[in-house]
Structure 1
C-alpha cells in the first residue's frame, strides 16, 4: 500500500467516523476531508472543486427547485387530498398513501414528498381514531422505495448515472432504473402495507405525539395589554371568567418589567401591563383574541421581534441540527430570530416543564410561534425539518397544470435525448422562477446546500481514491472473498455491504464510495458492470435499519413516537426482501 493510499483511506475512515459520531454536520466533515486531502497532496488541485460543478451535484440542486415548484403550484396537494379517505383500513390506507408517495418520490425529492404527505397522513389518522405511529414509518419507507424507479428519484441514482458516464462513456437514462426499481418498490410497498406495519412495537401504537403536542398545558406566557384591550380598567380578578372560558389561568401581573406581589388580584390593569398566563398554546392564542392582547415582544421595534402576522408551526430536529445539545435560551430564538419555542415532544412523550431550558435531541418535535417569514427562515437555518403544513405561501392551484406540463415535457425531452437532463431541469427551474411558481426569494433557500457541499467534497475524494489505486485494493479484497463462486454471489455481497454502510452513513457518500468498487469488481470478474452499478444504486438508497440512515426516517422519528431501535423490526426483513428480489431481477434485466 502506497503512502497516498494510506492517507486517502485514513481520510475516508475519519469521514465515516465523523458521520457516525454526528457531532459535526456531514457537509463540514466532508469539506474538511477535502481540504486535508489537498494539503496532503493526495487530491490534485486541478480536480479539487470539480465536484461542485459535477452533473450529479447540479441535478440534485435542480430537482429540489422543481420539487418546490410542484408543491407551490398545488399539483401534489390536488393529487393527495382527493384520494384520502380516513374510513379505510390501515392496510389499504398505507397501500394508497405508499403508492402515492412512491410515485411522487420517483419524480421529486423523496424528503420533500414525505414532508408533503405527512400532514395528510397524520390528519387521516386522527380522523380515523388511530395513531400516526402505525402509518408514518411505512410511509417513510414507501417514499424511499419510490426513489428507486428513476434517475432523479434519489441522489444515489444520480451519482450512479453520472459515474457510469465517466467510467463507461455513457450515463444511465431517465428510466433505465425503472424495470428493477418498479419491481422492488411495488413488492416493498406491498410488504409494508400488509406485514410491515404490524411489526411496529405495540407500545408505539399508543402514542400520538402530534396530538399530544397540540394539547400542551402548563406553559407560562407574558401577554401584553395593548391599546384598546378590553382588559384595561378591569381588575385582574374580573378576568377570571373569560380566562376560564378559554382554558387559561391568570397567574399574575407585571408592570414596567416588574412582577407585582402575589397574583395582584385587586390591581387595576393598565395599557402596557403584562398578564402572566398559564395554558396550552391554543388556549393562550384564544385569550389573546378574546382580550385583544399581544405576545411579549410583538410591539417591539426590533426587526426580529414577533410581528402581527403570527403562526404556529411544527418542526423536527434533524440529525445535523445546530440545536442538538443546546436550549432555546442558548440559541436566543426570540431575540435573534423572532421565533418563540412554545412546546417540545420527544419520542411521543411531551416535555411539559421548562421547555425552553431543555437540551434538544435529534427527532424532537418543536412547537414554534412566530411570523411566517421568521418560521420559514429559522426552521432550515437551525437544521430542522417541517412537520406539518405551515402556510408559507398561497398555493397557486391555477398554475398546477402549467407546472405539471413543464415538468412532464422536460422529462420526455431528456428521456428521448432532445435535451441533456441538467439542461431540461434548469429550463423548468427558470420558467418556474419567471412565472413566480418558485419566487426568487425562495429559490436559494429551496436548495439543500449541505448536500451540495457533501457531493462537491466527496466526488474529488472518490476520484483521488480511484486514481491512487485504493479502489482496486478493495476490489481485490472482495474478489478474493468470492473467488471460485458464481458472479451473483459477489453481486449479493456487494449489495449487503453497501446497504449496511448506507444504514449508518449518508446514502450519498455511500454511493460515491461504492460506485467505482462496483465497476472494478465487475471488470475483474469479466461481467457486465451495469449489473453491479444498479445493485449499488438500489442498496445505497435502501436504508431502513436506523433513523440516521435516511432523512425520511429521521423526519418520522418524533411524530411517530419511535425509538432508535424500532426501525430494524420492519427494516431488517424489508432489506432482506429487497436483496432477495433485486438480485434475480438484476440478472434478468441486466444480465451478467
Structure 2
C-alpha cells in the first residue's frame, strides 16, 4: 500500500465516521473532505469541482424538478385519488398503496411519491381508527423498492448508469434496471403486505401540524363547466365528508342564503361556504371542480404559476385589524386573496372578503409563492412556520403527462440524452406555469447535489490511486475458491450494510468502482456486479437514516430507531435471495 493510498483511506475513514455520526450535515462533510484532498495534492484544483457538471448530478436535479411539476399538475393526485378506501382490510390496503407507490416511484422521485401518498395513508388510518404505524412503513419500503425499476426512479441507479458510461463507454438505459427491479419490487411488496406489517409495533403517530391547526371558513366559486352545477348542495356532502370538509352555506348574488342551503340547486357563479383545514379545502375544490374566491376578477394573479396557500396570525398591530380584505384592496393591489379565516372555531355569516379582521384571527391567504412573504409584511401578519399548502393546477395534468412521456420517449429512442430530454421537460413545465422561479430552485435537494458533486472527484481519485482495486482484491482473496455468484452476494451484503448507515448516493459512488474491480479480477462481466451494487445501495431498510423515506415517516409513524429492522432485516434477506439469481439470469457473468 502506497503513502497516497494510506492517506486516502484515512480520509475516507474519517469521512465515513462523520457521515455515520450524523451530527454534521453530510454535504458539508463531503465538501470539506474534497477540499482536504485538493490541498493534500490528491485532487487537481482544476478537477475539484468537475463533479457539479457531471451528468449524474444534472439528471438527479432535473428528476426532482420534473417530479414537482407532475405533482403540481395533479397528474399524480389523479392516480392516487382512486386507491383510497378506509374499509379495506389492512393487507389489501397495503397491497394497493404499495403497488401505486412503487409504480409512482418508478417514474418520479421516490421521495416525492412517498410525500404524496403518506398523507392519504394517514387519512385512511385515522378514518379506519387504526395505528398509522401499521401501514406507513410498508408504504415507505414499497416506494424504495419501486425506485429500482427505472433509471430515474432512484439516485443510485443514475449514479451507476453514469459510472458505467465513464468506465465502460456506455451507460445503462432507462429500462435496463426493469427486469431485476420489477421482480424484486413485486416479491418485496408481497412480503410487506402479507407478513411484514405484522412485525411492526402498533403505535400512534406523532403530532402533526394539521392536528392542532384551526378550521377555516372559506368560499369557493362554482366555475363554468363545474360538475357541481345542477346538483343540490347536499349532493356534494359525500365528497366533502371524504375530504374532511363541511359545506355550511351558499352565497348567491353577493348574499348568503339562509341556513345550510342543503336543497338549493347549485348554479354557475355561486359560492360554496366551506369549513375545513387548508389541505382538505384545496383537495375538495379540486374534486368538485371549484375555483378560489376572487379568481373571476383577477385571472392573472390567481391562475398563474406556483400558487400557494399560507396561514398567518394577526397581531394587534397589523394593518388589516378592524378592516376587511376589501378595505385594504388586497386582491387588486397585490394579486393575493383572503381565502379563509379561522377564529377559534367560531362561525360567522359575513362574506370572507368583507369580514372585519380581529387580533388573534388566523388568515388563509392565496397567491403566488414568490409574493407571499412581501404581502404578509405589508399586512403586518406573521406567517406560521411550515404551514404552506401548494395549489394543484389540475387542468394541466394531461399536458404535464404528455410532456414527460415525450421526454422519456426521446431518451429511450436515442434522439437525445436523458439530461437534455428532462431539461426540455422542465422548460415545458415552466412554460405551462407548473413551476415558478423560486420553486424551481427550492425543489432541488442541494445537500444531495453537493454531496454527490464532492464525492465524484474523491471516488475517481481513490480509483486512480489503486485504492478500489485493493479493496476488490481483498474481497476476492477473502472469498478465494468461492463461485462468482457467492462473491456477488458478498459485495451486495457489504454494499447494503453501508447503505443502511450512509447516504445511498455515497454508497453507490464508492461501491461501483469496487464492483468493476472485482469483476475484472474474476475475469467476469462487470454488468452483474454494477447491477448488484445498484440494488443493494437502494435497499436500506434497517435504520431510519439509510434512506430519506425512512427518515420522513419516523415522526408521523411514531417509530423508534429499533423498529425498522423488525421488518427491514427480513426484507433485505429477501431482496438478496431474489436479486442475485435474477441478476445472473438477466446479466450473465
Aligned to 1:309: 365
After the TM superposition, which residues 20-31 of structure 1 pair with which residues of structure 2 at under 5 Å, given as runs? 20-31=20-31
**Which residue of 2 is the match for residue 286 of structure 1?**
345
Partner of 1:162: 162
Using the alignment, how far apart are the partners of 1:480 and 1:471 within structure 2?
14
Separation in structure 1 between the aligned mates of residue 5 and residue 405 of structure 2, nearest angstrom: 45
Residue aligning to 1:329: none
How much does 1:309 deviate? Answer: 2.7
Aligned residue for 1:411, secondary structure, equals helix
Structure 1 distance, partners of 2:364, 2:436, is 23
For 1:451-530, list aligned pairs within 5 A: 451-530=448-527
**Given that residues 543 and 550 in structure 1 are in contact (C-alpha distance below 8 angstroms), is that contact kept between their aligned partners in structure 2?**
yes
CA distance in 2 between partners of 1:129 and 1:292 (Å): 39
Q: Note closer, same or farther for the CA distance 1:510–1:295 as it changes in structure 2 (3 Å cut).
A: farther
Equivalent residues of 1:307, 1:370 under 8 A apart: no
Aligned counterpart, 1:409: 406
With structure 2 as the length reference, what TM-score do the two structures score?
0.73
Structure 1 runs not aligned, ≥5 long: 218-253, 257-269, 273-281, 299-305, 312-333, 339-368, 380-385
Contact 2:322–2:357 under 8 Å retained in 1: no
Say if 2:268 is the partner of 1:209: no
- 1:285 deviation in Å? 3.7
SS of 1:504 mapped into structure 2: coil
1:570 counterpart = 2:541: no
Which residue of 1 is the match for residue 186 of structure 2?
A: 186
Is contact 1:7-1:42 (8 Å) kept?
Answer: no
CA distance in 1, matches of 2:176, 2:28: 33
| CA distance in 2 between partners of 1:494 and 1:5 (Å) | 21
Q: Does 1:546 align with 2:559?
A: no
Q: Cα RMSD between the aligned structures?
A: 2.7
User: Once superposed, which parts of structure 1, at least 4 consecutive aligned residues long, lie more than 4 Å away?
Assistant: 210-213, 287-296
Task: Check if 1:153 corresponds to 2:189.
Answer: no
| Residue of structure 1 equivalent to 2:35 | 35
Paired with 1:541 and 1:295, the residues of 2 have a C-alpha distance of 50
Look up the SS of the partner of 1:69 in the other structure. helix
User: How far apart in 1 are the matches of 2:316 and 2:62?
Assistant: 53
C-alpha distance in 2 between matches for 1:94 and 1:284: 38
Q: What SS does the corresponding residue of 1:485 show, helix, strand or coil?
A: coil
The count of aligned residue pairs is 454
| TM-score, normalised by the number of residues in structure 1 | 0.73
Q: Which residue of 2 aligns with 1:132?
A: 132
The aligned residue for residue 141 of structure 1 is 141
| Structure 2: stretches of 5+ with no match in the other structure | 215-314, 324-340, 350-354, 368-372
Specify the alignment match of 2:332 in structure 1: none
Tell me, in whole angstroms, the C-alpha distance in 2 between the residues paired with 1:95 and 1:15. Answer: 39
Q: Shift in Å at residue 72 of structure 1?
A: 0.5
1:222-269 CA-partner distances (Å, limit 9, x unpaired)? xxxxxxxxxxxxxxxxxxxxxxxxxxxxxxxx999xxxxxxxxxxxxx
Matches within 5 A, 1:106-505: 106-202=106-202, 204=203, 207-210=204-207, 214=211, 285-286=344-345, 294=358, 309=365, 371=383, 375=385, 390-393=388-391, 395-505=392-502
Greater CA deviation, 11-20 or 417-426?
11-20
* More deviation, 287-296/528-537: 287-296
Distance 2:322 2:74 in 1: 44
* Contact in 2 for aligned 1:499/1:543 (Cα 8 Å): yes
1:557 aligned residue (550, 554, 559): 554
Structure 2 distance, partners of 1:513, 1:208, is 36
C-alpha separation in 1, matches of 2:359 and 2:9:
55
Q: How many angstroms does 1:283 deviate by?
A: 8.8
